[in-house]
Amino acid sequence: MDLFGLDDDERVIAETAAAFAEKRLAPNALAWDADEHFPTDVLREAAELGMAAIYCNDDVGGTGLRRLDGVRIFEQLATADPTIAAFLSIHNMCAWMVDSYGTQEQRKTWLPKLASMEAIASYCLTEPGAGSDAAALRTKAVRDGDHYVLDGVKQFISGAGVSDVYVVMARTGADGPRGISAFIVEKGTPGLSFGANEEKMGWHAQPTAQVILDGVRVPADAMLGGAEGEGTGFSIAMNGLNGGRINIAACSLGGAQAAYDKALSYLASREAFGSALVDEPTIRFTLAEMATALETSRNMLWRAAIALDTGNPRKVELCAMAKLHVTEACYTVADQALQLHGGYGYLREYGLEKIVRDLRVHRILEGTNEIMRVVIGRAASASARKSA
């Protein structure tokens, strides 16, 4: 795969996402942010273009694209609104889990609805006392005849209260990762409720709240993968997060690219000391750093996506590297773009402060960047032991 050029099909995919972002997201992003409006109607328009089940098989309504196509889609969407792009990433992760690990009945029941976003999905792993140490989660699912009864609380859940279906990780067995299973829980199930919408620094255009499970009774066949899925929930969650990490990195890249483009336009039109700011040598040095950060980020991201597509043995490590590098480098680019605007960058109407607020959380979710360092360091240690 040539990282520096796209074939015709790849170009059409990226251009379709870019056109949708320009037409439907960009004109509304600031208003959605200010009003804390979650545009489910626009999400369903994205679904009509195949952006809600990107990696799912076409026999159940999926688009059947690669991870490499996906990161390009999310980058383009995030140039207009990182918040909405990020939520689509989460929904796609849930759809992929159902397609990859669900029974045929689960796939046929849920994937057409997820692909059209008739059913919007949320991912429920994090808990008040189990964030980075996800294997320590305490939500329980106890077998009761032909049902499971779920009790517990999930924290920081995007879409909570609005989404129609929740992929919930719960403990069905002993402590540790092998005692965790995944369940599909429908909104409206008795005992399922939601906390208040969190007041966040960014991501104002998508709700975030607790998901509360108090005696939630679901059929045994709601376990993802059926009876054979018992004990596989942690593995499902971690495999899903490989894709989630590069997708959220793509959202950082898109937001940073938009911030950089805004800075170029502003600097070219703004004069000081008798010339355009863009001609000031020190500013050019900053632009050089920003441009280089964007290119290195894109190359790392595409490399990780290809590794995931091809089953590269280093895929987990490479996805962690991409998430770590891209989210940190691109947050810096966005912050530099705001700085280059001076006081104007701090004003809401210019859009820079929103990008900075939205991108900050990318270093926390889908595994904190500290955990990414743990993953990468563990791989380095394993490599060292093999070569010793």
Tens-place pLDDT, residues 65-111: 999 999 999 999 999 999 999 999 999 999 999 999 999 999 999 99
* Domain parsing of the chain, residue ranges: 8-120, 122-231, 235-387
- Structure confidence by residue, pLDDT tens digits, 191-219: 999 999 999 999 999 999 999 999 999 99
DSSP code of 230? T
- Amino acid 4: pLDDT: 55
By DSSP bridging, strand 192-194 and strand 121-124 are unpaired
- Structure confidence by residue, pLDDT tens digits, 154-164: 999 999 999 99
Domain 235-387, CATH homologous superfamily name and number: Butyryl-CoA Dehydrogenase, subunit A, domain 3 (1.20.140.10)
- Amino acid 2: pLDDT: 43
Annotation says 366 is catalytic: yes
CA dihedral of residues 171, 238, 380, 363 (deg, nearest 10): -110
Q: CB under 8 Å to 37, separation ≥6 — which residues? A: 31, 205
- Structure confidence by residue, pLDDT tens digits, 165-181: 999 999 999 898 899 99
- Structure confidence by residue, pLDDT tens digits, 113-150: 999 999 999 999 999 987 677 778 999 999 999 999 99
One of 2.40.110.10, 2.40.180.10, 3.40.50.1820, 3.30.43.10 is the CATH number of 122-231, namely: 2.40.110.10
- Amino acid 41: pLDDT: 98
Q: Determine the average pLDDT of the residues in 300-319.
A: 97
Q: What residue type is assigned to position 111 of the chain?
A: L
Alpha-carbon distance of 140 to 176, in angstroms, equals 13
Higher-confidence residue of 131 and 366: namely: 366
Given 127, 228, 366, 370, the catalytic residue = 366
Fold assignment, 8-120: Butyryl-Coa Dehydrogenase, subunit A; domain 1 (1.10.540)
Contact indicator for 32, 39 with CB cutoff of 8 Å: yes
- Structure confidence by residue, pLDDT tens digits, 248-293: 999 999 999 999 999 999 999 988 777 888 989 999 999 999 999 9
Maximum Cα interatomic distance, the chain, rounded to a whole number of Å: 80
- Indicate the pTM of the whole model: 0.95
For residue 286, what are the CA distances in angstroms to 59, 129, 296?
Answer: 49, 41, 15
pLDDT level of residue 1 (50, 70, 90 thresholds): very low
CB under 8 Å, gap of 24 or more: what pairs does 278-287 form?
Answer: 283/340, 286/336, 286/340, 287/263
Asked if residue 388 has pLDDT above 80, the reply is no
As a residue count, the chain comes to 388
Give SS3 for 280: coil
